[in-house]
């Protein structure tokens, strides 16, 4: 079995969430092309609609009429579904607005840490309550003061929540980021007219009135593209090209690791609006070598660790991902899922402390009883593992792929030869 052909993944999930959420803070209207069709981003649209945003869908575009911070809530109980990004970012956003809101989600979201977001928002003056650090969360916002805050975890969601509160505060807010994480919120706040400055790993935002850009286009999601790109590297005859995908350097850690392992990668940046985007081709890459992935690289590929771990099972020697403890609190315990499911297929993966070790190469065999634990990225990784094993594998709750990539199975069928 091999993967061959060209595909375009859905619009980037992180960027889609952000343009959707910014319609609450900013005035004006925006026509968004290629807004992600994934379930998580549709959750964000439902939430902003329930807070008063008028939304039209025309010819595949989404038109959002910004509220300029004047919410008219139809509902104060907001269902964030499976989406951590929706919940964490909206916590920051609501912290600067009057009224009390309660935020909840599905069983997976209810297990995820929210105290990390609540703590800085309280320092800014909002009242935020969590249920033992987890959802449901209550936010009662209003006048905020600016703060200077050093992130205790390398999380773009946490950084974004503070910046979205900070742009509404009475003074400057500085977020110190010991390890660089994705910077879409910064790009997009600037695009909407905010003043943001970066110096020595710290972002400072000034209070500002925001306006949506008239037109906005979302490049394809590199985190979705990763499954087929890595899949092509592992399968004889593989040759896959992802078109019009996001290539912002805070998201391309996976491509760097592919190069380091000796994969045959060609990358072409074709534009830089709203952020760098272009084409990536990966061909079957015999002789892949294991490598070390340093802590500072993890946020640049955090969602790609499952598929890169699979890739490492096919590489010669040891691969280690350093300090990946955050993967325990994603949509599932991804470290446990990677180890149990891939080892059941014949891999040799272990964890020491927060470091993930993979010894390769190990042939993989298709086995019965694989489980995604309802986690979209584990489901897609295991389907690609099936391709590597040479047989279609059934994976429990594989429909969860639509959380980030609704067309995954269609694209898989089209690329599979």
User: Which are the catalytic amino acids?
Assistant: 303
Among 121, 226, 257, 302, which residue sits at the site for ligand S3P (rule: CB under 6 A)? 302
Binding of ligand S3P by 156 (CB under 6 A): yes
Binding of ligand S3P by 114 (CB under 6 A): no
Binding of ligand S3P by 157 (CB under 6 A): yes
Binding of ligand S3P by 182 (CB under 6 A): yes
Instruction: Indicate the residue among 2 and 17 with the shorter CB distance to ligand S3P.
Output: 17
Interface segment toward ligand S3P; rule CB under 6 A; list 153-161, 191-199, 367-375, 379-387: 153-161
Assigned token pair, 186: 């910064």
Binding of ligand S3P by 85 (CB under 6 A): yes
3-state secondary structure the chain: CCEEEEECCCECHHHHHHHHHHHHHCECEEEEECCCCCHHHHHHHHHHHHCCCEEEEECCEEEEECCCCCCCCCCCEEECCCCHHHHHHHHHHHHCCCCEEEEECCCCHHHCCCHHHHHHHHHCCCEEEEECCEEEEEEECCCCCCCEEECCCCCHHHHHHHHHHHCCCCCCEEEECCCCCCCHHHHHHHHCCCCEEEECCEEEECCCCCECCCEEECCECHHHHHHHHHHHHHCCCCEEEEEEEECCCCCCHHHHHHHHCCCEEEEEEEECCCCCEEEEEEECCCCCECCEECHHHHHHCHHHHHHHHHHHHCCEEEEEECCCHHHHHCCCCHHHHHHHHHHHCCCEEEEECCEEEEEECCCCCCCCCEECCCCHHHHHHHHHHHHHHCCCCCEECHHHHHHCCCCHHHHHHHHEC
Could you tell me the smallest distance in angstroms from the CB atom of residue 303 to ligand S3P? Answer: 5
Interface segment toward ligand S3P; rule CB under 6 A; list 51-59, 62-70, 150-158, 386-394: 150-158
Among 275, 303, 371, 398, which residue sits at the site for ligand S3P (rule: CB under 6 A)? 303
**In the complex, residue closest to ligand S3P by CB:** 14
Could you tell me the smallest distance in angstroms from the CB atom of residue 156 to ligand S3P? Answer: 4
From residue 31 to residue 70, the character string flagging contacts with ligand S3P as x (rule: CB under 6 A) and all else as - is: ----------------------------------------
Among 155, 174, 204, 332, which residue sits at the site for ligand S3P (rule: CB under 6 A)? 155
Binding of ligand S3P by 250 (CB under 6 A): no
Could you tell me the smallest distance in angstroms from the CB atom of residue 286 to ligand S3P? Answer: 31
Instruction: Indicate the residue among 3 and 298 with the shorter CB distance to ligand S3P.
Output: 298
Binding of ligand S3P by 326 (CB under 6 A): yes
Instruction: Indicate the residue among 92 and 238 with the shorter CB distance to ligand S3P.
Output: 92
How far is Cα 273 from Cα 217, in angstroms, rounded to an integer? Answer: 8
Could you tell me the smallest distance in angstroms from the CB atom of residue 163 to ligand S3P? Answer: 11
Could you tell me the smallest distance in angstroms from the CB atom of residue 159 to ligand S3P? Answer: 7
Q: Which residues of this chain interact with ligand S3P, rule CB under 6 A?
A: 14, 85, 155-157, 160, 181-182, 302-303, 326
């Amino acid at each position: 079995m091999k993967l061959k052909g060209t595909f375009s993944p859905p619009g980037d999930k992180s960027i889609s969430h952000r343009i959707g959420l910014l319609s609450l803070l900013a005035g004006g209207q925006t026509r968004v092309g290629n807004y992600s069709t994934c379930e998580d981003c549709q959750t964000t649209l439902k939430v902003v609609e329930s807070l008063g945003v008028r939304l039209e869908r025309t010819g595949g575009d989404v038109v959002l009429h910004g509220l300029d911070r004047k919410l008219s809530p139809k509902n104060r109980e907001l269902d964030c579904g499976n989406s951590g990004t929706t919940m964490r970012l909206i916590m920051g956003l609501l912290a600067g607005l009057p009224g009390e809101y309660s935020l909840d989600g599905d069983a997976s979201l209810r297990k995820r840490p929210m105290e990390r977001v609540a703590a800085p928002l309280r320092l800014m003056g909002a009242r935020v309550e969590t249920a033992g650090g987890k959802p449901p969360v209550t936010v009662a916002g209003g006048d905020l003061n600016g703060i200077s805050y050093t992130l205790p975890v390398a999380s773009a969601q946490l950084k974004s929540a503070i910046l979205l509160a900070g742009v509404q505060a009475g003074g400057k807010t500085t977020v110190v980021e010991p390890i660089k994480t994705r910077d879409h919120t910064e790009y997009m706040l600037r695009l909407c007219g905010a003043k943001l400055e970066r110096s020595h790993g710290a972002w400072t935002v000034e209070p500002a009135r925001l306006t949506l850009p008239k037109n906005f286009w979302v490049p394809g999601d590199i985190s979705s593209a990763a499954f087929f790109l890595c899949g092509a590297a592992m399968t004889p005859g593989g040759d896959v090209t992802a078109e019009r995908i996001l290539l912002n350097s805070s998201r391309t850690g996976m491509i760097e690791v592919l190069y380091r392992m000796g994969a045959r990668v060609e990358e072409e940046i074709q534009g830089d609006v709203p952020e760098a985007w272009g084409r990536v081709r990966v061909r079957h890459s015999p002789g892949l070598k294991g490598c070390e992935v340093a802590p500072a690289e993890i946020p640049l590929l955090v969602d790609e660790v499952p598929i890169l771990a699979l890739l490492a099972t096919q590489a010669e020697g040891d691969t280690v991902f350093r300090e990946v403890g955050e993967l325990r609190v994603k949509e599932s315990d991804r470290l446990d899922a990677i180890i149990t499911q891939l080892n059941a297929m014949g891999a040799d993966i272990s964890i020491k402390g927060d470091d993930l070790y993979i010894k390769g190469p190990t042939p993989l065999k298709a086995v019965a009883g694989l489980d995604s634990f309802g986690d979209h990225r584990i489901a897609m990784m295991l389907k690609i593992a099936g391709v590597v094993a040479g047989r279609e594998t059934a994976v429990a709750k594989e429909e969860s792929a639509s959380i980030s990539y609704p067309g995954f199975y269609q694209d898989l069928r089209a690329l599979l030869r």
